[in-house]
Amino acid sequence: MRTLLKTYFGYDKFRPLQEEIVASVLAKRDCLVLMPTGGGKSLCYQLPALKFDGLTLVVSPLISLMKDQVDALQANGVAADFINSSLTQTEINRAMVRVRQERTKILYLAPERVAVPDFQAFLSALKVSLIAIDEAHCISEWGHDFRPEYRNLKTLRRDFPDAPVIALTATATRRVREDIIAQLELKEAQTFISSFNRPNLTYLVRPKRNAFNALLALLHKHQNEPTIIYCVSRKGTEELAADLRANNFNAMAYHAGLANDVRKETQEKFIRDEVPIVVATIAFGMGIDKPDVRLIVHYDMPRTLEGYYQETGRAGRDGLPSECVLFYSYGDKIKHDFFIDQIEDPSERNRAGDKLAQVIEYCEWQDCRRAYLLKYFGEEWERQDCGGCDVCLTPRAEFDATEIAQKILSAVVRTGERFGAGYVINVLRGANDKKIRERGHEGLSVFGIVQDFTIDELVQLINVLLARKLLVKNGHRYPTLGLTEAGRSWLKLRERIILPRPARGVEQRAAKTAGEIDFDRELFEKLRVLRKTLADERGVPPFVIFGDASLQEMAAYFPQRPESLSEIFGVGAEKLAHFGEAFLAVIRRHTLELGLEEQVAPARRPAKNRTVNRSGATYDETKKLVLQKLSLAEIAERRGLAEETIISHLERLVEFGAELDLDYLKPPPERLVEIKAAFEQSGGHFLTPVRAILGQEFSFAELRLVRLFLADS
């Protein structure tokens, strides 16, 4: 499995829990996997799929993600297909033929497709070895994104009783996890819960005052870096995108009310690095598989912590440092209350109110935000300073808060524990307020006794007292402050209490995020340009070629040979064969100009048997079929791979000096002469200029094949 991991995905080792999950799936046990976005969930079923004889079915609600994942798998040499409503009937029929002929190893489906009788009949004739249910929380009414069509998926369990089922999600409380197991009828399911901590993400909550200028400053900081901004309304996304464009930022709106072709175009441009900023509705979200998003902004407050965590999880999926900024205003609660009021079912309405209250508590929290998020999902965070949230990054001196805490708690008690924080603060500060006078509260002993703290500072102190469990909020719509038993006991005993001093615009220190390395920025940009060119040639997103983490390592260690390039993170045998020489050429040229030398990359687990001559290697299998004089199409069909992947095997075999007679694969003489002439005219070995000379009737696969013969001549 480690050999397959390196060959097809370019990784030298598993991430936490992946190895155990893969082993469990290979043992044909049902599994429930709870792993944060970017934690490597997909590999948990993609890798076993390569080992099983039959087909792996993957059910996902994110139609827009399927093509990206299939493109990425095909680029890695894995035979994958998808069937959903974005395809024409002709394209669906072709995909079904490939599946019937066992030329496909992994098939992605939308949940609605499983309920179609004709499609059920099609599935029933297949040899299915594994069923993967992605975004499994959608099956639970207790989840934040319930989808009724997911309830149809239990039929897969009954139709394929011998195939193990792996259910995967990034966000699920204990109750949701139990519901997933019950609804999918998982048998003696092994549950794997990965840490929810994303150490490369920095969580920042900022007051929603002068928010637009603050947003512009953030975008300048992350100039030209992929960014998603979430708004609560469709109109809000369009207005904000227009305002950003008026300030010279390339931004597009994305919401459910736009025409399908507009949404598709926006998503394609974002994924292909042609539009760096997308403004999207929280409700609709962005189903994307883009690993290099560097900034997530919640311009409006999210409705649930599950949704917030999932949306922030779209940042930094490649493990590199990224920021998640939430602009908080209690006024946003009113917008959400309007939607909650439309919910007819009382219990569901109460659940929605509970979830919104938790978001507000998170925003007003005065201790580590990372610890709050992790605890919400059942994980304890033992460190005092996470180094990656606005609370921990803001130096906060402590002070003796005994007197001010007594005043706050006393004011809550004297006003009858029937009012919110704003009213209590007005009483403490002696505000000339009509409601205070109507209730006679201007005559209380606590009226006007606090003059040395601002309103903002008192709000922060009340939030700290809530976090320390001396105060509690009661109710959702109009929450009131009350004392806990601990609060009553403390007020009675008058014990000394030390609290963080309220922040007064103190500068934050730099975040200590994981995943940072020093690299040559100029070379990194050159490699990004090459990546974009190669991606456009193949009609795939740039990250399918290589992720930012791979390019940063190339720009840090300057590999000069295929062997050293293969040690770079994310460079597997397939990608080395496909793209290695192009990237090495750019690196060599840059290092030659600046007099730089190759650096030794950090030691990783030694690769085992990575020569092309190893027994059972993917190259050996291709070599055997070439020796039988089979055509490219026949070899691809036998291997269940794309023809481009077979050509990459041939390139690698030739590079290693394998004895092969490839003349029988040459195109007709007249085409061969024309292609050779175009290569000579272009003055190099790159495919794009050659195809520009020849035109669309010559495929990149054919050009790559002819390039092999040029290398021999």
Phi-psi category of residue 586: left, alpha or beta, with phi > 0 → left and psi -120 to 50 → alpha: alpha
Six token digits for residue 21:
């999950």
Q: What's the one-letter identity of residue 448?
A: G
Q: Domains for the chain: give ranges and CATH numbers.
A: 2-193 (3.40.50.300), 201-385 (3.40.50.300), 398-500 (1.10.10.10), 517-607 (1.10.150.80)
pLDDT at 498: 87
DSSP 407-437: HHHHHHHHTTS-S-HHHHHHHHHT---HHHH
pLDDT at 423: 92
Q: Is 595 helix (H, G, I), strand (E, B) or coil?
A: coil
What is the signed CA dihedral for 485, 488, 493, 498, rounded to 10 degrees? 90
Residue 209: exposure state from Cβ atoms within 10 A (0-12, 13-18, ≥19)? exposed
CB contact set of 677 (below 8 Å; sequence gap of 6+):
none
For 448-452, the CB contacts below 8 A with 24+ separation are 449/407, 450/404, 450/407
Q: How far is the C-alpha of 167 from the C-alpha of 154, rounded, in Å?
A: 12
CB contact set of 686 (below 8 Å; sequence gap of 6+):
582
The whole model's pTM is what?
Answer: 0.62
Q: How far is the C-alpha of 49 from the C-alpha of 73, rounded, in Å?
A: 12
Q: What's the one-letter identity of residue 455?
A: I
Q: How far is the C-alpha of 217 from the C-alpha of 210, rounded, in Å?
A: 11
Pair type for strands 471-474 and 480-483: antiparallel
Q: Is 652 helix (H, G, I), strand (E, B) or coil?
A: helix
Pair type for strands 55-59 and 128-133: parallel
pLDDT at 515: 52
Q: How far is the C-alpha of 573 from the C-alpha of 592, rounded, in Å?
A: 26
pLDDT at 144: 62
Q: Is the separation of the CB atoms in 216 and 168 below 8 Å?
A: no
pLDDT at 339: 81
Q: How far is the C-alpha of 394 from the C-alpha of 206, rounded, in Å?
A: 12
> Which residues, listed in sequence order, are joined to residue 498 by a DSSP beta bridge?
400
Run means of pLDDT, 10 residues per run, the chain, 713 residues: 84 87 94 84 93 93 80 88 89 92 92 88 92 88 73 86 91 82 88 88 90 91 93 91 93 89 87 92 65 93 89 88 92 80 85 88 88 87 82 80 94 93 92 88 94 88 89 81 93 86 56 62 90 86 88 90 87 86 91 80 44 46 87 82 73 70 87 86 68 77 80 53
Beta strands in 302-409 (DSSP E): 322-328, 398-400
CA 594 vs CA 73, 350, 581, 703: distances in Å? 36, 64, 20, 33
> Sign of the CA dihedral 112, 115, 118, 119?
positive
pLDDT at 680: 80
Q: What's the one-letter identity of residue 358?
A: Q
CB contact set of 460 (below 8 Å; sequence gap of 6+):
366, 502, 503
pLDDT at 143: 64
Angle at the Cα of 45 (from 40 to 51), degrees rounded to 5?
125
CA 602 vs CA 199, 279, 380, 564: distances in Å? 20, 39, 32, 11
Helix, strand and coil in the chain, % to nearest 5: 50, 10, 40
Q: Is the separation of the CB atoms in 479 and 473 below 8 Å?
A: yes
Q: What's the one-letter identity of residue 153?
A: L
